[in-house]
Amino acid sequence: MAVQIHPTAVVDRAAVLDTDLTIGPYSIIGPKVEIGSGTVIGSHVVIEGKTKIGKNNSIYQFSALGGAPQDLKFKGEDVGLEIGENNVLREYVNIHMGTIHGNRITRIGNNNLIMSNVHIGHDCSIGNGCVISTGTGLSGHVVLEEGVILGGMVGASQRVRIGKMAYIGGFTAIARDVPPFITGRGTSDIYIKGINSIGLSRKGVPEENIRALKKAYRTIFLTGNTVGLGCEKAKAEVGNYPEVDYFISFIQNSKNGICVTEEKAWRVQRSPLESGLSA
């Protein structure tokens, strides 16, 4: 099927367009853009910079993709944006290119739902199967692993890493790394609320593994242990389960500190002896 371009759209002759795609009214496609087959671009969409978009994406009206990074150090270097396949980008989604201070590329994986008015900053990396809800903003270098769900109006600080299948409630501020498989929320800061049992079950994780994760979670976050000591105890006591191993490894390798339960955060504020909180 031929490419369908509305007469009012402006498409640079140097843009690389695959077959069977649609570009709606008043959209603008720049010279360094590549778009895969089956992708549908709505009206008033701007795609610029060195942007590569895969197959079967749906990009709704007024989205802006591949703009220059909001970084004062950016001097027009060779950077870009890569978007995978089967993604849905709703109205007013804004995604910037990377910088030489990151990996040069902002990356969006496959099968993601990015709702309206979402901002994804430079050098972010979004895995597969994520849901980013309306009004959420991700600062530069943020990493979302596979299957992350962010509620509406979430804000994530630079370089935060959110582990796979984490579920974060709306209006949450995220300034520290979020372990995989948990649920969390909070306004001035995120607090862990427990293991995302429903999400894990829906993804086919065995009940025995979920119980093991819950035990590890209790050992790390719901005892008097520091997080570091809790991880060591969980390793010794829970047994070998892939989800538990990843959970502990994520916490121990965090470079930004780990969000914790509200009770543990309060206890740390009261006692300097808990300074070993961050893994």
In degrees, rounded to 5, the angle at the alpha carbon of residue 253 between the alpha carbons of residues 248 and 255 is: 135
Q: Measuring CA to CA, which residue among 71, 54, 184 is closest to residue 124?
A: 71
* Phi, psi (deg, nearest 5) at residue 264: -70, -40
Catalytic residue among 44, 96, 119, 122: 122
Question: For 166-264, where are the E strands, in sequence order?
Answer: 167-168, 173-174, 182-185, 191-195
Sheet containing 173-174, strands listed edge to edge, beginning at the edge strand earlier in sequence:
10-11, 28-29, 46-47, 64-67, 94-96, 119-120, 137-138, 155-156, 173-174
CA distances for 73 relative to 26, 80, 128, 145, 222, angstroms: 32, 16, 30, 27, 43
Q: Under DSSP, is residue 252 helix (H, G, I), strand (E, B) or coil?
A: helix
Radius of gyration of the chain (CA): 21
Catalytic residue among 109, 140, 151, 163: 140
What is the DSSP code (8-state) at residue 273? G
Question: For 178-242, where are the E strands, in sequence order?
Answer: 182-185, 191-195
18 labelled catalytic: no
- Nearest-angstrom CA–CA distance, 117 and 152: 10
What is the residue whose two structure tokens read 């942007």? 51
123 labelled catalytic: yes
Catalytic residue among 44, 71, 123, 184: 123
- Nearest-angstrom CA–CA distance, 176 and 174: 6
DSSP code string of 39-57:
-EE-TT-EE-SSEEE-SS-
Which residues are tagged catalytic? 122-123, 140
